[in-house]
């Protein structure tokens, strides 16, 4: 018989979740699909296995239940977990919103502990967004509460966040002070994951201070712990920092091995922030070794990820959300929450769309397309097209970036208009688009691309008092086996078309 209520602490026991544990929780869900605790546990197990999209799907099911307000302690966990999932997906504005909701929905069990935990999460979210003043405020508040509670793990987490913030501010001595205190607390609480994370921060501090021996020592400690406990995020970050240090010391070959291993692990996760750092560093090393095409591709990929994760609009939206939330608390309070419960499912669907859609063109973004095709095996029955607006920079330079945005929207609309509903169209980054044509031969895909190229070349685009024409170049590849290999081939053909005069379709 399943429990109707679990305490939030119930979930703390699961540091590692096996496939079998997840399958058992799904079997329980089949029997109790309206039970909030069961849904939370399934979502949490997916989250622990870095399957953030399935985790998001289940927490949205939990939000949609009409019984949520009858179970405030369990519903707190739903809200907190929603914030954690959006944080891992890089949707920091949504993460901050849910953390603020959780701060005011702690129930009547372990209230102060929950508030302290949320304050640490808010500090981390604002820190990743680059809003360091707010991050510091929440970090200090978390530390003060943790010290009053006299709980080692909470004190360790608060010191970890303050260490990160001060390292970003390049205040090495203060960062180290918080870091060493965090080490002490994590050792006392026997939290190996926390210990791995703080060792990485301390290693970075020593690297900034040019103490490479101590830095390497702490990186290796972090990597050893991460491998022992199967902490993939720690493995990725440790290898990234080790590779960076090796590169600085001139050991390029070993650096590449370590970084490529980290990238391979990262491909099994949705940890976009670490991938940005990896791609940028790999680009630098490839350029150093004369692999300029690899350097270009790595840098372009990293930049596109970075633009999405660290957008200036995210920072502005965070402040806006905080003000809106505080006003709603004062003006509506309990009535607001009851009314919001009726529309929460709709809003969560909108938030899910925000995660997978490009905000400018409303096409799928990289994450949305990868999510749409995950788990599909391709056997040359589908075709992939990578296309790019020719001389887009000149449009921005001559008419301004707002006109460039209008052009991107107009071309997106044309692509949707002249494609079928089954075709998947994504803004792949900048002025580049990716089109996946299911059950389409190479011959049919070439005809499609040529028609699209001709329509765009004949179209007159307008913005303000300006009118202009543009062309596009298309690279086509059959989808065979591995998506990354196919898109790399399409990118090579697009690059070839750009070099051979643009406004053309390259398919062999």
pLDDT tens digits, 250-284: 888 888 888 887 777 776 655 445 677 788 888 88
DSSP 8-state secondary structure symbol assigned to residue 419: S
Distances (CA, A) of 171 to 12, 123, 174, 182, 290: 33, 17, 6, 17, 36
**Cα angle value 159/161/165 (rounded, 5°):** 115
Q: What percent of the chain has pLDDT over 90?
A: 31
Report the 10 Å Cβ neighbour count for 195: 24
DSSP 8-state secondary structure symbol assigned to residue 357: B
Residue 240 makes CB contacts below 8 A (sequence gap 6+) with 259, 262, 274, 277, 278, 281
Hey, what long-range contacts does 295-300 have (CB within 8 A, 24 or more apart)?
297/488, 297/491, 300/429
Report pLDDT for 349: 61
Nearest C-alpha neighbor of 146 from the set 173, 176, 178, 175? 178
Task: Tell me the Ramachandran region of residue 464: left when phi exceeds 0, alpha when psi lies from -120 to 50, beta otherwise.
Answer: left
Distance CA 305, CA 266 (A): 13
147-157 average pLDDT score: 90
Report pLDDT for 348: 58
Q: Residue 286 pLDDT > 70, yes or no? A: yes
For the entire predicted model, the pTM comes to 0.56
Q: Residue 504 pLDDT > 80, yes or no? A: yes
- Tell me the per-residue pLDDT of 407-436, one tens digit each, with 9 for 90 and over: 999 999 999 999 998 999 999 877 999 999
* Higher pLDDT among residues 245 and 451, named by residue: 451
Report pLDDT for 332: 44
- Tell me the per-residue pLDDT of 14-61, one tens digit each, with 9 for 90 and over: 556 677 888 888 998 999 888 888 899 899 888 888 788 888 888 888
387-402 average pLDDT score: 90
Are the C-beta atoms of residues 350 and 458 closer than 8 Å to each other? no
356-379 average pLDDT score: 78
- Tell me the per-residue pLDDT of 455-470, one tens digit each, with 9 for 90 and over: 999 999 988 888 999 9
- Tell me the per-residue pLDDT of 181-214, one tens digit each, with 9 for 90 and over: 999 999 999 999 899 999 999 998 998 888 888 9
What is the crossing angle of helices 111-129 and 132-149, to 10°?
160
Structural Rg of the chain based on CA atoms: 24
Quickly state the pLDDT bin for 9 (edges 50, 70, 90): very low
Strand-pair partners of 384: 436, 477
Distance CA 246, CA 207 (A): 11
Distance CA 286, CA 279 (A): 10
* Higher pLDDT among residues 377 and 261, named by residue: 261
Are the C-beta atoms of residues 186 and 196 closer than 8 Å to each other? no
DSSP 8-state secondary structure symbol assigned to residue 110: S
Q: Residue 77 pLDDT > 50, yes or no? A: yes
234-262 average pLDDT score: 83
Report pLDDT for 175: 92
Distance CA 179, CA 200 (A): 10
Secondary-structure breakdown of the chain: helix, strand, coil percentages, each rounded to the nearest 5: 70, 10, 20
- Tell me the per-residue pLDDT of 306-341, one tens digit each, with 9 for 90 and over: 665 555 444 444 444 444 444 444 444 445 445 555
Are the C-beta atoms of residues 266 and 236 closer than 8 Å to each other? yes
Quickly state the pLDDT bin for 107 (edges 50, 70, 90): confident
3-state secondary structure of 446: helix
Report pLDDT for 19: 79
């Amino acid at each position: 018989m399943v429990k109707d209520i679990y305490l939030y602490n119930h979930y703390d026991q699961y540091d590692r979740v096996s496939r079998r544990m997840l399958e058992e929780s799904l079997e329980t869900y089949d029997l109790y699909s309206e039970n909030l605790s069961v849904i939370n546990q399934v979502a949490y197990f997916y989250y622990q296995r870095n399957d953030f999209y399935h985790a998001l799907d289940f927490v949205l099911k939990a939000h949609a239940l009409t019984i949520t307000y009858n179970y405030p302690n369990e519903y707190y966990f739903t809200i907190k977990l929603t914030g954690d999932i959006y944080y891992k997906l890089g949707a920091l504005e949504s993460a901050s919103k849910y953390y603020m909701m959780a701060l005011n929905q702690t129930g009547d069990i372990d209230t102060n502990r929950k508030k302290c935990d949320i304050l640490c999460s808010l500090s981390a979210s604002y820190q990743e967004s680059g809003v360091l003043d707010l991050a510091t405020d929440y970090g200090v508040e978390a530390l003060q509460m943790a010290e009053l509670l006299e709980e080692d793990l909470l004190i360790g987490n608060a010191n970890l966040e303050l260490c990160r913030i001060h390292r970003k501010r390049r205040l090495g001595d203060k960062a180290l002070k918080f870091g060493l205190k965090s080490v002490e607390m994590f050792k006392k609480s026997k939290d190996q994951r926390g210990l791995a994370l703080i060792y990485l921060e301390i290693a970075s501090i020593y690297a900034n201070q040019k103490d490479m021996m101590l830095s390497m020592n702490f990186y290796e400690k972090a990597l050893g712990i991460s491998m022992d406990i199967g902490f993939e995020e720690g493995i990725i970050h440790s290898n990234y920092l080790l590779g960076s240090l090796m590169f600085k010391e001139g050991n390029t070959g070993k650096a590449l091995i370590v970084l490529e291993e980290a990238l391979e692990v990262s491909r099994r996760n949705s940890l976009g922030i670490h991938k940005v750092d990896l791609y940028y560093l790999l680009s630098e090393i490839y350029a150093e070794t004369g692999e300029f095409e690899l350097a270009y591709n790595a840098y372009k990929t990293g930049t596109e990820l970075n633009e999405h994760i660290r957008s200036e609009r995210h920072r502005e939206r965070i402040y806006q959300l905080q003000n809106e939330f505080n006003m709603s608390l004062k003006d509506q309070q309990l009535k607001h929450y009851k009314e919001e419960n009726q529309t929460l499912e709709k809003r969560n669907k909108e938030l899910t769309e925000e995660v997978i859609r490009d905000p400018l063109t409303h096409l799928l973004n990289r994450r949305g397309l990868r999510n749409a095709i995950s788990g599909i095996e391709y056997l040359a029955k589908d075709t992939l097209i990578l296309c790019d607006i020719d001389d887009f920079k000149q449009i921005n330079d001559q008419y301004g970036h707002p006109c460039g945005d209008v052009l991107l929207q107009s071309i997106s609309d044309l692509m949707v208009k002249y494609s079928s509903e089954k075709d998947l169209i994504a803004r792949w980054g900048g002025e580049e688009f990716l089109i996946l044509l299911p059950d389409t031969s190479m011959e049919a895909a070439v005809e499609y691309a040529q028609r699209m190229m001709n329509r765009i070349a004949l179209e007159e685009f307008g913005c303000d008092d300006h009118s202009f024409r543009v062309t596009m170049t298309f690279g086509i590849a059959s989808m065979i086996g591995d998506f990354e290999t196919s898109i790399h081939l399409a990118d090579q053909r697009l690059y070839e078309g750009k070099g051979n005069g643009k406004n053309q379709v390259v398919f062999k």
